[in-house]
């Protein structure tokens, strides 16, 4: 299984699938329901083995539907819109990061950008820029392919007990295997596939938003016991009203512009805040020392302030 997974991973790399890195959080909740710890969730090799096999099964299901020419619920990820790729190139230029020139943005270009920055202090910032330039994956009755995986055929097939689109295509595949012809399958499932795709996309958006809000509340609850403590963090997002700093354990808080040293700040979207006269700049990916100033558990917000070394 390990050897086969390595073959599949190698095939993915040869397709030039961009290896974007995303950080997930692991919340440690006590028996009293209080969040006791927050840790980065790490993927081991066994999980990667399972993931590669699941991707292969998902692709096989989508290929079957296309070959049989039957209505289906595909998992699609379209190429980034042109305005987003133009903005990505502009951000990379401002950040001094090398990027390939192209007429049409392809997965290989995203992979090249990431590989050029890998093992440098700019990688986290570049990874975030590329990630934010991507279109959102969704469900569709049309086989539009998956940009991020560089696959022409893809569906969500492997989790029918917890995810509705998987259940929907299990129903369709069951009837394919039962021997029903294309005409009958098309009549039965064409409307169903379109409605299931739309409903699944909308439900996923709601679920992701709720999950994020819930996680933020737990993280704020955890940080309540660390108010006044100082941490090393990395700037994970920059806005015109300040910047977000992320701790190694994935907790993120806002350093509001009003708490920064006095001055006039120029915002270079979305890379940096720079003080006009001193030239002091806070850039995506920079390491900073922050102190937890306050939290709001019900809103899931955490406020940091920059640590003043002169006060230590």
Which of the listed residues 196, 221, 246 is the one where a domain comes to its end? 221
Name the pLDDT band for 310 (thresholds 50, 70, 90): low
The answer to whether residues 64 and 139 belong to one domain is: yes
Cα 217 from Cα 29, distance rounded (Å): 12
Asked if residue 197 has pLDDT above 90, the reply is yes
The per-residue pLDDT for 236 is 87
Helices (H), the chain: 2-14, 45-68, 82-94, 107-117, 123-133, 164-177, 182-223
Could you report the per-residue pLDDT of 123-153, keeping only the tens digit for each?
Answer: 888 888 898 899 999 999 999 999 999 999 9
Q: How many domains does the chain have?
A: 2
The per-residue pLDDT for 96 is 78
Cα 259 from Cα 294, distance rounded (Å): 13
Cα 264 from Cα 273, distance rounded (Å): 10
Query: Which of 107, 197, 104, 112 shows the shortest CA–CA distance to 149?
Result: 107
The answer to whether residues 148 and 192 belong to one domain is: yes
Cα 49 from Cα 44, distance rounded (Å): 9
The answer to whether residues 170 and 255 belong to one domain is: no
Query: The domain spanning residue 307 has which CATH number?
Result: 2.40.50.140
Q: In angstroms, how far is CA 232 from the centroid of its own chain? A: 23
- Contact in structure between 296 and 308 (CB atoms under 8 Å): no
Token readout for 253 is 């808080």
- Contact in structure between 273 and 259 (CB atoms under 8 Å): no
The answer to whether residues 169 and 265 belong to one domain is: no
Residue 97 placed within a domain: no
Cα 50 from Cα 65, distance rounded (Å): 23
Token readout for 214 is 């819930």
Name the pLDDT band for 97 (thresholds 50, 70, 90): confident
Name the pLDDT band for 203 (thresholds 50, 70, 90): very high
Q: In angstroms, how far is CA 161 from the centroid of its own chain? A: 24
Proportion of the chain above pLDDT 70, given as a percent: 98
Cα 41 from Cα 23, distance rounded (Å): 7
| Stated pTM of the model | 0.89
Cα 264 from Cα 162, distance rounded (Å): 51
Range scoring the smallest mean pLDDT among 7-21, 227-241, 263-277: 263-277
Domain that includes residue 243, residue range: 229-311
Residue 117 placed within a domain: no
The answer to whether residues 284 and 151 belong to one domain is: no
Name the pLDDT band for 308 (thresholds 50, 70, 90): low
The answer to whether residues 234 and 189 belong to one domain is: no
Arithmetic mean of pLDDT, 293-303: 97
Output the CA–CA distances (angstroms, integers) from residue 297 to 7, 25, 222, 236, 286, in the order listed. Answer: 46, 17, 9, 21, 27
Query: Which of 304, 292, 251 shows the shortest CA–CA distance to 24?
Result: 251
Helix/strand/coil percent split, the chain, to 5: 45, 20, 35
């Amino acid at each position: 299984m390990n050897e086969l997974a390595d073959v599949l991973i190698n095939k993915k790399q040869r397709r030039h699938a961009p290896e974007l890195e995303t950080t997930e959080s692991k919340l440690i909740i006590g028996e009293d329901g209080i969040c006791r710890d927050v840790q980065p969730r790490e993927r081991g090799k066994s999980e990667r083995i399972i993931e590669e096999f699941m991707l292969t099964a998902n692709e096989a299901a989508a290929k079957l539907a296309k070959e049989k020419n039957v209505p289906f619920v595909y998992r699609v990820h379209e190429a980034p819109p042109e305005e987003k790729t133009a903005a990505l190139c502009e951000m990379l230029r401002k950040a001094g990061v090398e990027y390939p020139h192209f007429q049409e943005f392809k997965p290989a270009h995203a992979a090249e950008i990431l590989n050029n920055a890998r093992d440098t202090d700019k990688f986290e910032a570049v990874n975030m820029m590329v990630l934010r330039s991507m279109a959102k994956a969704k469900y569709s009755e049309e086989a539009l392919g998956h940009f991020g995986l560089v696959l022409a055929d893809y569906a969500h097939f492997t989790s029918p007990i917890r995810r509705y689109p998987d259940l929907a295509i299990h129903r369709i595949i069951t009837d394919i295997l039962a021997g029903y012809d294309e005409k009958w399958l098309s009549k039965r499932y064409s409307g169903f596939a379109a409605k299931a795709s739309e409903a699944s996309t909308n439900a996923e958006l709601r679920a992701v938003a709720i999950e994020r809000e819930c996680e933020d509340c737990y993280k704020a609850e955890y940080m309540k016991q660390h108010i006044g403590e100082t941490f090393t963090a990395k700037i994970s997002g920059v806005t015109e009203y300040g910047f977000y700093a992320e701790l190694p354990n994935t907790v993120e808080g806002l350093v509001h512009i009003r708490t920064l040293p006095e001055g006039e700040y120029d915002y270079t979207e979305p890379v940096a805040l720079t003080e006009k006269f001193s030239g002091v700049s806070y850039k995506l990916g920079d390491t900073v020392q922050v102190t937890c100033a306050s939290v709001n558990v019900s809103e899931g917000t955490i406020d940091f302030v920059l640590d003043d070394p002169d006060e230590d």
